[in-house]
């Protein structure tokens, strides 16, 4: 595959515009088609970017087109599962927006169909490209914070109108953990390098009561890990606060905090002690939200990379178990799929 140009299609031109821009910037890729229910949106994207050699097609046309190697999916959440299965069936590499799917049964099916193929699959968890977390991962792995015993993360959405209006309220079983908390769960797994063994959850729907949004808008999950580490993650979609991630990582040598005051580490317990502020950006640049496509293309060029795909299956196992655990009184054991 190494010297072949990858022919690509993008499905859904909201977040998918970022996928398309990343593909246009990657010399190993050729953007051939865009797909959107709204054809005027597709035409506008092509015209605005002077893409005279990009065509407009339907999803079934691109997935059945033998020349297409890579399909990126930024369709609505409840279309990801079927489209991912279709891509696997037609041996297309896949870059899919989060969440990859909506239920554990769907994840099982994707895994079953994917495992004997050479298809590369990755998802767009944009914080993986944030300089702060790339630095912090290495810092934690070197033991600089000591032993990590607690990870707390809050996904403060700050965009409540996106669930009370628009497509999110209309799809079946929209999940705030899959829709936003997933970014924090991904950080928890990646930064600690650990996988939880069980989860229990509670939820409420107070902030969006009497709106068109039908599901819970607040989900609080507690994860236990074999090492004793405890993770607590909330997906808080109704909060009166701007969009913000709040992360607290407690180690035996230091405490990392990130909130609207900025990322910092506390190295002592002094009442007057000042934290060490960190100079790293907590988000990727706004125009780089499709940049993980380049990593997927690296994997395609190098051949099937189970370790990278394992990460996507692990993340979804944890997030979907967190949703499932809301129907259980006792903590739910998390089952993982092995690549």
Q: Which residue is nearest to ligand NAD (CB)?
A: 14
User: Which of 19, 32, 57, 98: binder of ligand NAD (CB under 6 A)?
Assistant: 98
Alpha carbon dihedral 107, 111, 112, 116, in 10-degree steps, equals 170
**Smallest gap, in angstroms, from Cβ of residue 269 to ligand NAD?**
36
C-alpha–C-alpha distance, residues 283 and 124, integer Å = 13
> Tokens for 168?
């999110």
Minimal distance, residue 315 CB to ligand NAD, in Å: 13
Interaction between residue 114 and ligand NAD (CB under 6 A)? no
Residue number, 75 or 106, with CB nearest to ligand NAD? 75
Nearer to ligand NAD among residue 128 and residue 203 (C-beta): 128
Place of tokens 């593909």: 23
Coil, helix or strand for 124?
A: coil
Pairwise CA distance, residues 260 & 245, whole Å: 8
Residue whose tokens read 């033998």: 66
Q: Which of 9, 22, 23, 126 binds ligand NAD (CB under 6 A)?
A: 126
Give 76 or 139: the residue with its C-beta nearer to ligand NAD: 76
Size of the site for ligand NAD (CB under 6 A): 22
CB of 183 to ligand NAD, least distance (A): 7
List the interface residues with ligand NAD, window 264-283 (CB under 6 A). Answer: none
Among 57, 70, 97, 323, interactor with ligand NAD by CB under 6 A: 97
- Cα-only R_g, the chain: 20
**Contact with ligand NAD (CB under 6 A) among 10, 15, 145, 297:** 15
State yes or no: residue 156 binds ligand NAD (CB under 6 A). no
Which DSSP state fits 335? P
Q: Return the residue of 76, 135, 139, 336 that touches ligand NAD, per CB under 6 A.
A: 76
Q: Indicate whether 154 belongs to the interface with ligand NAD (CB under 6 A).
A: no
Give the nearest distance from C-beta 187 to ligand NAD in angstroms: 13
- Token readout for 209 is 């009561």
Q: Maximum Cα–Cα distance for the chain, whole Å?
A: 65
Angle, to 10 degrees, between the axis of helix 131-141 and the axis of helix 182-192? 40
CB of 333 to ligand NAD, least distance (A): 27
List the interface residues with ligand NAD, window 163-182 (CB under 6 A): 167, 179
Can residue 21 be called a binding residue for ligand NAD (CB under 6 A)?
no
Query: CB under 6 A: which stretch of 5-13, 47-55, 196-204, 312-320 binds ligand NAD?
Result: 5-13
Site string for ligand NAD, 31-70 (x = CB under 6 A): ----xxxx--x-----------------x-----------
One of 1, 7, 14, 248 touching ligand NAD (CB under 6 A): 14
Find the shortest distance in angstroms from Cβ 77 to ligand NAD.
5
Residues that bind ligand NAD (CB under 6 A): 11-15, 35-38, 41, 59, 74-77, 79, 97-98, 124, 126, 167, 179
């Amino acid at each position: 595959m190494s010297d072949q140009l990858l022919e690509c299609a993008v499905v859904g031109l909201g977040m998918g515009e970022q996928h398309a821009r990343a593909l246009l910037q990657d010399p190993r890729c050729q953007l051939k088609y865009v797909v959107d229910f709204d054809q005027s949106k597709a035409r506008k994207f092509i015209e605005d970017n002077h893409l005279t050699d990009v065509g407009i097609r339907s999803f079934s046309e691109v997935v059945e087109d033998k020349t297409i190697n890579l399909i990126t999916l930024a369709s609505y959440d409840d279309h990801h599962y079927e489209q991912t299965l279709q891509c696997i069936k037609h041996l297309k590499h896949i870059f899919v927006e989060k969440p990859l799917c909506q239920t554990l049964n769907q994840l099982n099916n994707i895994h079953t169909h994917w495992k004997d193929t050479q298809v590369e699959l990755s998802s767009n968890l944009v914080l993986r490209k944030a300089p702060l977390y790339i630095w912090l991962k290495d810092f934690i792995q070197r033991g600089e914070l000591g032993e990590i015993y607690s990870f707390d993360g809050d996904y403060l959405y700050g965009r409540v109108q996106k669930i009370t209006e628009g497509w999110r309220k209309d799809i079946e079983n929209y999940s705030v953990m899959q829709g936003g908390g997933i970014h924090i769960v991904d950080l928890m797994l990646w930064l600690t390098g650990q996988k939880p063994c069980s989860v229990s959850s509670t939820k409420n729907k107070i902030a969006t009561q009497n709106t068109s949004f039908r599901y819970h808008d607040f989900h609080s999950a507690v994860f236990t890990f074999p090492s004793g580490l405890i993770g607590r993650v909330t997906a808080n979609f109704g909060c009166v606060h701007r969009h913000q991630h709040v992360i607290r990582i407690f180690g035996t040598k230091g405490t990392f905090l990130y909130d609207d005051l900025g990322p910092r580490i506390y190295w002592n317990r002094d009442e007057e002690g000042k934290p060490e502020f960190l100079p790293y950006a907590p988000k990727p640049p706004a125009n780089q939200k499709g940049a993980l496509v380049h990593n997927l293309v690296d994997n395609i060029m190098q051949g099937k990379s189970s370790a990278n795909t394992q990460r996507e299956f692990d993340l979804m196992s944890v997030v979907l178990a967190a949703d499932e655990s809301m129907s259980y009184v006792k903590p739910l054991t998390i089952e993982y799929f092995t690549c």
